[in-house]
Amino acid sequence: MNNENDFKYVLEDFSTVFMGANHKYEELMVHETAPLKFKEVVARVFTHEVSPEMTVAEHLMQLTENDKSYMIYRQLKVKIKLIQQKQSGKGYESKTCTFEEFMETYQQKAVAGDCFIEEIILKKLHLVSFPV
């Protein structure tokens, strides 16, 4: 049974920010530990393309190459952590992939329900150097 707060977190270490993909963009906007630059991107771009009530995972599943959000996620060099069933059919495995790999291989699997987007991973260096 899933709790409504599963995969809703913002954690960071020395060089990386980990954000749960079940966060709605409006929740990230008021989250006290979410990076300020990411909040700016959400306010200036993402919420103009999608509803603020949309989760990060839902947004990633509907992105196309023509979206400005697509370019931003690519420029931020976001990595995406997925959970999928093992090929043997017994148990699950976690996989971290680049944004490009996700778009090419895993986006359609996520839409079909064959994998689940758990979190997005951002390097602080990419956030700091990103022009807003």
14-51 per-position pLDDT tens digit:
999 999 999 999 999 999 999 999 999 999 999 999 99
| Residue 96, beta-bridge partner list | 81
| Residue 2 pLDDT | 55
Please tell me the CATH code under which domain 10-125 is placed. 3.30.465.10
pLDDT of residue 85: 84
100-128 pLDDT, tens digit each? 999 999 999 999 999 999 999 999 999 99
**Within 13 Å of residue 89, how many CA atoms lie on the same side as its CB?**
0
- pTM of the predicted model, to two decimals? 0.89
Residue recorded with tokens 């999608």: 50
Instruction: Tell me: pLDDT of 130 over 90.
Output: no
CA-to-CA dists, residue 20 to 66, 71, 87, 105, 131, angstroms: 25, 21, 25, 21, 24
In this predicted structure, the answer to whether residue 86 has a pLDDT above a threshold of 90 is: no
**What does the pLDDT read at residue 5?**
66
pLDDT at residue number 3: 60
- Hey, where are the domains in the chain? 10-125
How far is residue 109's CA from residue 68's CA, in Å, rounded to a whole number?
A: 22
The pLDDT score that the predictor gives to residue 1 is: 45
